[in-house]
Amino acid sequence: MCPANWRAVIETCFDRLGISADSYGGTAWTFKLPPTVYPVYAYLNEEWLCLDIPLDSTVTYHSAWTSLQGNATIRGAGKFALEVRPRRLHLQAEIPLIEEPTPDLLLQQTLTGFNDALSGTGPGTRKPLREGSDAVERLTGIFAEGGWSYSRKLANGLSLEIPVRQVPQLAHITLNENVCRLHTQLVRADVFDDAARFGLAILFLSASREIRWVRPYVDTQNSCETAGFEVCFMALPCAGELSHAFSALSTALQLCGAEALVMQDSSIAKQFLLHRAPIQKEDNV
């Protein structure tokens, strides 16, 4: 259960992290994120601490695709998202407030990820999976506690089905060197032309704006570029966190799964862009 007074918990968390925040209305704050000039807007929404940084960069094919690539490696719960009207990119995050421990680590990692993204630096590609860890065994126990079915085809991960529309989607939960990642791959993005990739980016980034916690990504492994959705944990998740993550991933797949597949048709992508985000000259698609 959540503590009754999350406001005090969050403000204590800010103090421990050296964040000087101005409070508004009891459940909202704003603070600067040095060394950047961007203000961070933070607020409580039900059992979530939400963070938002409106960006002033123009949304083009290049910036949208780069944002999806950035989501593949950004630290913490941070993600790029798109506010369709006005056509504006945001850095945002939703941190679940599920159990008694305070969210210091995830908040700190998220703000570090924000700084990396704003400065154009990041942790780089995903690190190799750990070997010889007992974390997968602990994960199987958490799955058993939650009553979730899974298969174990990978040495360092589990697979499970996420219910979406007509056909369940296969998802994986894998353990990297410093993160536990729940993810599903939807399409091979390297077969899309520029118009289709721009349409896919706008579709995914606008969904990212609306769906808590889950983020879209474009990742390149072994010369293969793939796109999908993920939720990343800074430590082995508890059953409550996994339940929230499964729900978020299922929502993203229901909103974007079938649409991502048809978006590879550039004529459909162009029609989508005309309605969702009118193409500008600098988009070059």
Averaged pLDDT, 181-202: 94
The structure tokens listed for 80 are 């790029």
Specify the higher pLDDT residue, 211 or 147. 211
Cβ contact 234:76 at 8 Å:
yes
Which pLDDT value is given to residue 100?
56
What DSSP designation does 126 have? Answer: P
Q: What is the pLDDT of residue 37?
A: 83
The pLDDT of residue 129 is: 43
Residues present in the chain in total:
285
Q: What percent of the chain has pLDDT over 70?
A: 88
Give the H/E segment covering residue 152.
Answer: strand 151-154
User: Once rounded to an integer, what is the mean pLDDT over residues 158-168?
Assistant: 81
pLDDT per residue as tens digits for the range 213-263 = 999 999 988 789 999 999 998 888 888 889 999 999 999 999 999 999 999
pLDDT in tens, 34-61: 888 889 999 999 889 999 999 987 789 9
Note the pLDDT tens digit of each residue in 107-153.
999 999 999 998 876 555 555 444 445 788 888 888 888 889 888 87
Q: Return the structure tokens found at 191.
A: 């077969």
Q: So what's the pLDDT on residue 132?
A: 42
> Which residue segments constitute the domains of the chain, with CATH numbers given?
6-283 (3.30.1460.10)
b/e code 207-244 from CB counts within 10 Å (16+ = b): bbbebbbbbbbbbeeeeebbbbbbbbbbeebebebbeb
pLDDT of 285 reads 60
Write down the pLDDT at residue 277: 61
Q: What is d(CA 156, CA 18) in angstroms, rounded to the nearest whole number? A: 36
210, 215, 209, 213: which is closest to 48 by C-alpha? 213
Q: Specify whether the CB–CB gap between 115 and 123 falls below 8 A.
A: no
Q: Specify the residue for token string 């118009």.
A: 195
